[in-house]
Amino acid sequence: MRYRYHDERQKLLAGVGIPPPEPNFRCRGTRRAGILVVIFVMGALLYLGSKVPPEYPVADESEHWKSEGWFPSPRGGTVKNWEESYRKAAELVGKMSLLEKVNITTGIGWQQGLCVGNTGPAINVGFPSLCLQDGPLGLRFADHATAWPAALTVGATWNRELAFKRGAGHGEEARLKGINILLGPSMGPLGRMPAGGRNWEGFGTDPYLQGAAAAETIKGIQSSGVIATAKHFILNEQEHFRQVLEWSESPNHAISSNADDRTMHELYLWPFADSVRAGVASVMCSYNQVNNTYACGNSKTMNGLLKDELGFQGFVQSDWFAVRDGVLSILGGLDMVMPGNVLIEDGGYTLFGANLTSAVMNSTLPVERLNEMALRIVAAWYQLGQDDKSKFPEDKPNFSSWTQKEEDFIYHGAGEGDRGIVNKYVDVQSDHWKVARQVAVEGTVLVKNEGILPLKRGSFKGKHIGIYGEDAGTEDQKGFPNFCVDRGCNKGSLGSGWGSGSVEFPHFHTPLSALKTAFNTSADDIPRFTAITNNQYTSSIVKSAKSQHLCFAFINSDAGEGYIQDPVTGVHGDRMDLYPQNGGDKLVKSVTENCENTIVVVHAVGPVILEEWIDLPGIQAVVLAHLPGQESGKALVEILFGDTNPSGKLPYTIGKSLKDYGPGAEVIYHPNALTPQQTFNEGLEIDYRYFDKHSITPRFEFGFGLSYSTFAIKSPRLTQKLPKAPFPSPRPKMLPPPSIPASPLPPFSSVLFPEGFKKVLHYIYPYVSRPSDIFRPSPIHYPPDYDRKRPLSPAGGGEGGNPSLWDVVAELEVTVRNTGDVEGAEVAQLYVGFPEVEGINFPVRVLRGFEKVFLKAGQEKKVVFEIKRRELSYWDVIAQNWRMPTEGNFTIWVGSSSRNLPVEINF
């Protein structure tokens, strides 16, 4: 979030006619009389430089990829599930003044409240300031809260119930800390590029898996009354050049992700549809551009796809400092700006606030659009029951994101003024460690086992065990367990990636400490341990490994958000490659070439290339423990010793090289144009789809994972429930949106700062400084298609899309049997292959269902898959609707991975 290029920031502001901040500048309302800088126009931003530097070849994608306009912004309150919340919201918003409506849509400024994001209140009607807090795996900056396993680890569990339980615990902790809006879960990035820095914040590289896990997480979070946020909308697939002023090579222009209509729908929009259907009350737009329009100002994606086609009823908030234009973003569907100010250094300068007040007062923006913004926010508040003061008391939140002191400035960003208690140190963890550990256990994937696992307690008395690698973790390492701000360095044992999605570990069970207490069954049954946790001590490791009966090699690979560059590895956001970091390959070879019984444990943010050592004879087992959170070591030993039978499955493919994933999988590390262009030419062929289409043998396929038992999937029985039909039912009629009685605009005097008003430094207010600020000398240039009313999408009509898309077309029953001698769980995975359709290319197969089945030895259960219309449809770009092929046969497979599919049936 922090901007590092101060000189470039000054140029950016000057380039659009905005004076740079004065020394010790204060919030002064609208900066310049006669200029309504709500229109901080993207156009000016895009043309800051006149020439592309010679070393940047001009890419022509920017001319070929243009995002169309979609106006007006659809109204909320059109589905039955939200009807009562919108009725209440209309009544409350109808009583608000214009300034109060502006206040609840505008963040009050970076560090001006106790949370990472805070809205202004509507005091006269009793609507509170809302607290928005990161993030997807815990409560960022909060004390006494659980550090959950990352979403990638949740995806590796393939367990819907666990995803819900993790979300419920996460939501409960947020509510008890006084948080209204939790900034998670993440389903963007999807993972198009395996080296993408924030892939670990999502659940895996398949849209069905991502959507299923995200939906359960949302239901869990919102079961506690906390508003969940589906993010980052949309096509935010790499960190390099994701936003302005973060990258010195392209400081003025964020990257444009360019995707065609079908790719957008079948891959990247799919999990957002699942999230909306799950009732998510907030969506966060992303930093990047989509088809050369900034995502937070893109009317096609926010108005057309999200609010119309997907029927989203909640509010759209911006990512932090992501808004490049005020008026166009609001017309394009943005409902709330975060954290309020344009750039982190700009204190009280905002595109909303006073500028939004002025835009409505001078009729640049219709008051109806402001009413709708406020309605969506208030309706979400009612929908989650946050008007219940017994659950959401007025004195919340009870922690500060900016200091660990009990008492500090009330407005930390001001650095002056009133002081008070900002931290109450409320412990909200309860027994959530149990769910956290279970997620870490089930999210651990065993990919190789030559029979060494599970280890047997009591069989290593007097034997020598070597534990090697910094990733094993040592509790006496300086900074443990919270190395570097926002976990922005690869030190110690890896429990999470870095960035705004990280948290403070309340404690961390290292693998080293857990292993040292895991082998013995009694006090006199302790092996002799040797631990070397410096990867660079190669000669010592080689010498030590020669004398061990059993060795562990711990390696990792880290990445995170683009505002951090790891001082240890040099990784800046996205990984530079897929190899283990900190000399991991060398470490493993040094161990296994001298120790014939080596177990390798990998903690990583995504796929890691294992080719240098995976087939060496000393490698007896390989365990991929992903990002396990605080329970890391405790969870690991449960798997190693068979306390729990491993049941994790890969939520991505592990190739033998980065090249195996295809040209579209490579991060753009250097700008290819003034506005970097990233075109998704591979279409639907990402991860396992690319491997399948091009007959590439992976090292370990998507969905793969070993067990200490064996399973059989057999006896398919297909029952057709509905006839095949090309299109879903006609879009159903939706409820009329609530209306707020029209009223004249207030007098100018009512929106000015009250006489004698004492301002807080850098705080963002809705007030205008003087009447002349309300007017501009020239008209606003609206989008060329602003007056063209778009037809409603036939694919819409309900939350998540046309309700007919969820009609069950067929049911497939299979039997899953545990054929081994220990209890365990198998994930039955259903894949669909489409019939041939002239002119349409399909992947070989796509995931369309999964069920995790727990079985005792010898037990069998029947599993029934409901196959819905949506899962048998592709996006027809001509009809602008989901189309089911009605000629030819679908092929349906069920198995234990994307390439182990013993059940095959035609439909």
pLDDT classification of 779: cutoffs 50, 70, 90: low
The yes-or-no answer on residue 876 being catalytic is no
- Which tens digits make up the pLDDT trace of 78-112? 999 999 999 999 999 999 999 999 999 999 999 99
The Cα–Cα gap between 440 and 444 comes to 6
Q: Quick one: tokens of 898?
A: 């994307």
- Which tens digits make up the pLDDT trace of 743-754? 889 999 999 999
User: Interhelix angle for 207-222 vs 160-176, to 10°?
Assistant: 40
Please compute the mean of the pLDDT values over residues 472-499 and round it to a whole number: 95
Residues in the chain: 907
The Cα–Cα gap between 300 and 685 comes to 24
Torsion of CA 907, 213, 710, 515, to 10 degrees: 170
Sign, Cα dihedral of 341, 343, 349, 350: negative
- Which tens digits make up the pLDDT trace of 210-264? 999 999 999 999 999 999 999 999 999 999 999 998 888 999 999 999 999 999 9
- Which tens digits make up the pLDDT trace of 432-469? 999 999 999 999 999 999 999 999 998 999 999 999 99
- Which tens digits make up the pLDDT trace of 521-538? 887 788 999 999 999 999
- Which tens digits make up the pLDDT trace of 111-166? 999 999 999 999 999 999 999 999 899 999 999 999 999 999 999 999 999 999 99
Please compute the mean of the pLDDT values over residues 600-626 and round it to a whole number: 98
Q: Is the pLDDT of residue 758 over 80?
A: yes
Q: Is the pLDDT of residue 805 over 50?
A: yes
On whether the CB atoms of residues 843 and 692 are closer than 8 A, the answer is yes
The residue with greater pLDDT, 459 or 19, is: 459
pLDDT classification of 60: cutoffs 50, 70, 90: low
pLDDT of residue 34: 31
Quote the longest CA-to-CA distance of the chain.
Answer: 87
pLDDT of residue 63: 79
Q: Is the pLDDT of residue 510 over 60?
A: yes
Q: Is the pLDDT of residue 24 over 80?
A: no
Q: Which of 275, 254, 146, 164 is nearest to 210 (CA)?
A: 275
Torsion of CA 367, 369, 374, 377, to 10 degrees: 180
On whether the CB atoms of residues 356 and 102 are closer than 8 A, the answer is yes
The Cα–Cα gap between 827 and 822 comes to 16
- Which tens digits make up the pLDDT trace of 684-737? 999 999 999 999 999 999 999 999 999 999 999 999 999 999 999 999 999 999
The Cα–Cα gap between 310 and 270 comes to 10
pLDDT of residue 521: 80
pLDDT of residue 883: 98
pLDDT of residue 346: 74
Please compute the mean of the pLDDT values over residues 616-641 and round it to a whole number: 98
pLDDT of residue 40: 32
The top-scoring range by mean pLDDT among 27-31, 33-37, 46-50, 363-367 is 363-367
Residue 691 parent element (H or E): helix 688-693
Q: Is the pLDDT of residue 43 over 50?
A: no
Q: What are phi and psi of 225, to 5 degrees?
A: 90, 0
The Cα–Cα gap between 580 and 583 comes to 7
Q: Is the pLDDT of residue 19 over 60?
A: no
Catalytic residue, chosen from 143, 319, 486, 687, is 319
E strands present in 707-766:
711-720
pLDDT of residue 343: 85
pLDDT of residue 345: 76
Q: Is the pLDDT of residue 17 over 50?
A: no
Residue 815 parent element (H or E): strand 808-818
Q: Mean pLDDT across the chain, nearest whole number? A: 92
DSSP string, 524-545: T---EEEEE--TT-HHHHHHHH
Asked if the peptide bond before residue 185 counts as cis, ω within 30 degrees of 0, the response is yes
Please compute the mean of the pLDDT values over residues 415-444 and round it to a whole number: 97
Q: What is the DSSP letter of 871?
A: G
Please compute the mean of the pLDDT values over residues 24-45 and round it to a whole number: 30
Q: What is this structure's pTM?
A: 0.94
pLDDT of residue 64: 87
The Cα–Cα gap between 700 and 580 comes to 16
- Which tens digits make up the pLDDT trace of 848-871? 999 999 999 999 999 999 999 999
pLDDT of residue 785: 87
pLDDT classification of 57: cutoffs 50, 70, 90: low
Placement of tokens 């992501």 in the chain: 322
